[in-house]
Amino acid sequence: DGGITQSPKYLFRKEGQNVTLSCEQNLNHDAMYWYRQDPGQGLRLIYYSQIVNDFQKGDIAEGYSVSREKKESFPLTVTSAQKNPTAFYLCASSIQAGVLFNEQFFGPGTRLTVL
């Protein structure tokens, strides 16, 4: 999972709560991404950031928010507006978003469960 850390590993949320998932990278990558993984559906893009202080919505951004105040950090907040947040969340980074052949490196993931 080299160079990308996510915390916590497991997170439990009560209905109506906002929770924040941490993602930190020490790879000096410009671009960072958040994905949601559900069984049998592959990975779906929530938000991405190509550079500090800039981020864009992905395919399923509703109910989520992000910030990118530092190059190495890209926290994801799951708000109470997200109706079905139970999933495995993966953070990733790549050297530059605009270079199409760059692979993404993934963190170990956070499993969020709504109680």
Partner 1 sequence: AQSVAQPEDQVNVAEGNPLTVKCTYSVSGNPYLFWYVQYPNRGLQFLLKYITGDNLVKGSYGFEAEFNKSQTSFHLKKPSALVSDSALYFCAVRALFSGGYNKLIFGAGTRLAVHP
Q: Is the peptide bond before 8 cis (omega within 30 degrees of 0)?
A: yes
Q: Does 40 bind partner 1 (CB under 8 A)?
A: yes
DSSP 59-112: TT-TTEEE--SBTTB--EEE-TT-S---EEEEEEEES-TT-TTPPPEE---EEE
Q: How far is the CB of 57 from partner 1 (least distance, A)?
A: 10
Q: Does 41 bind partner 1 (CB under 8 A)?
A: yes
Instruction: Say which DSSP state 53 is in.
Output: T
- Of the candidate residues 21, 104, 112, 114, the single one contacting partner 1 (CB under 8 A): 104
- Of the candidate residues 32, 66, 97, 112, the single one contacting partner 1 (CB under 8 A): 97
Chain positions contacting partner 1, by CB under 8 A: 1, 4, 6, 40-43, 45, 48, 56, 58, 88, 90, 92, 97-98, 100-101, 103-109, 111
